[in-house]
Amino acid sequence: CLMMSSKRNLFVRLVPCRCLRGEEETVTSLDYSHCSLETVPKEIFSFEKTLEELYLDANQIEELPKEFPENIKNCKVLAIVEASVNPISKLPEGFTQLLSLTQLYLNDAFL
């Protein structure tokens, strides 16, 4: 269910995997679309220095974790966040600190 793009394309199932460490792999895109997630995976913050695109659309995420604003602001090159078709009702203030963010998709959210 998880799709990652980096120097090489890597496709893995959404399972705990100790092999996915930010310092070992340059991951620029994480795709958790259509994974029936209820929470945002904390693994995304392992790639805070290289993550450019984050896709969380079409899940069951109702709210972003309390630590999300603090951690997401460390994603200095994050340009695209796709979180459409989720019952998200509140957007954390941390998004205002994402200076590289150029596209934020929240279609069909409960905002």
What are the pLDDT digits (tens) for 15-31? 444 445 545 568 899 99
Buried b (16+ CB within 10 A) or exposed e, 55-85: bbbbbebebbeeebbeebbebeebbbbbbbb
Domains (ranges, CATH) in the chain? 2-9+24-105 (3.80.10.10)
Digit-coded pLDDT (tens) for 31-86: 999 999 999 888 888 888 899 999 999 999 998 776 776 777 788 899 999 999 99
The number of beta carbons lying within 10 Å of the beta carbon of residue 27 is 23
Sequence-separated (6 or more) residues with CB below 8 Å from residue 96 = none
Give the containing element (helix H, strand E) for 105.
strand 103-105
Query: Do strands 27-31 and 2-6 pair parallel, antiparallel, or not at all (unpaired)?
Result: antiparallel
66 in Cβ contact with 39 (< 8 Å): no
Q: Please give the model's pTM, rounded to 2 decimal places.
A: 0.76
